Amino acid sequence: MKIHFSHLTKPTSTIVDMFNQWENDPALIPLTRPNQNMEDLEHQWEMTLDDLTKRLEHNQTYLIYLDDQLVGEMNYMVDPSHLYKKEQGTAWIGITIGEPEGRGKGIGFVAIQYLEEQIKQQGLKRIELGVFEFNIQAQKLYKKLGYQEIGRIKDFTYWQDKMWNDIRMEKYLGDC
Ligand SMILES: CC(C)(COP(=O)(O)OP(=O)(O)OC[C@H]1O[C@@H](n2cnc3c(N)ncnc32)[C@H](O)[C@@H]1OP(=O)(O)O)[C@@H](O)C(=O)NCCC(=O)NCCS
């Protein structure tokens, strides 16, 4: 199993197509974006090449490859307004392993450590993330990587007939 990462600086229409496919995958929608109701869950988003190019102005994105196949992406933003703890020098991270064959093989574990290294190299000291309370797989991974819960935002997202909390987690990046 060969895993590698690539900093996305020049998006192509093939990459946009993959992002749109993951964004609109019914299995992923409940896990990756907050939804207010059933309609949101069914909404299809179509990002253009221009949208993705603009996103990269404030969002550092890394592509995740398994045996040279693009299987997912991860990204960070610096000090976005939605941080739970508004501490300057914080990277807000997100990850989507969009292709099912990329999940459950330890790729997320390796990928986030790589992302942490990139964040550290930018002189940032803290990471914050949000994970929905029913996303047990992701919570397991973050705990394994040393992330700690700092709070919960109530009734944050709709799934399976009810509203669920968003769990916020943080990790301080050490010197070694
Ligand atoms: C959540 C997500 C990032 C986790 O990534 P992943 O690669 O599937 O998860 P892991 O790295 O933890 O690997 C999963 C399993 O593979 C196992 N594994 C296999 N080989 C491994 C290896 N070499 N090293 C580490 N773990 C390995 C792990 O033990 C783990 O099993 P466990 O959870 O029972 O301990 C990914 O599944 C995903 O993108 N899901 C959909 C979108 C999503 O939920 N995003 C996060 C929103 S907050």
In this prediction, residue 43 carries a pLDDT of 93
pLDDT in tens, 82-105: 999 999 999 999 999 999 999 999
Atom of ligand 1 nearest to the CA of 142: 12
- At 13, is the pLDDT very low, low, confident or very high (cuts 50, 70, 90)? very high
Cα(111) to ligand 1 centroid in Å equals: 10
Cα(108) to ligand 1 centroid in Å equals: 5
Residue 170 has pLDDT above 60, yes or no: yes
Tell the residue nearest (CA) to atom 37 of ligand 1.
Answer: 103
pLDDT in tens, 54-75: 999 999 999 999 999 999 999 9
Residue among 35, 97, 153, 165 whose CB has most ligand 1 atoms within 8 A, to mutate: 97
Residue 167 has pLDDT above 60, yes or no: yes
- What is the extent of the structural domain holding 68? 3-172
Cα(50) to ligand 1 centroid in Å equals: 31
Contact predicate 136/101, CB 8 Å = no
Contact predicate 103/135, CB 8 Å = no
In this prediction, residue 175 carries a pLDDT of 65
Residue 176 has pLDDT above 80, yes or no: no
Residue 174 has pLDDT above 90, yes or no: no
In this prediction, residue 71 carries a pLDDT of 98
Q: Please give the average per-residue pLDDT across 101-121, as a whole number.
A: 97
In this prediction, residue 144 carries a pLDDT of 98
The total number of structural domains in the chain stands at 1
The enclosing domain of 94 has a CATH number of 3.40.630.30
CB pairs under 8 A, 24+ apart, for 46-53?
46/20, 47/16, 47/19, 47/20, 47/23, 48/16, 49/11, 49/12, 49/13, 49/16, 52/11, 52/15, 52/16, 52/19, 53/11
pLDDT in tens, 37-52: 999 999 999 999 999 9
Residues within a 6 A CB radius of ligand 1: 28, 31-32, 72, 95-97, 103-109, 131, 135, 137-138, 140-141
Residue 79 has pLDDT above 90, yes or no: yes
Cα(97) to ligand 1 centroid in Å equals: 9
Cα(105) to ligand 1 centroid in Å equals: 6
Q: What is the mean pLDDT of the chain?
A: 96
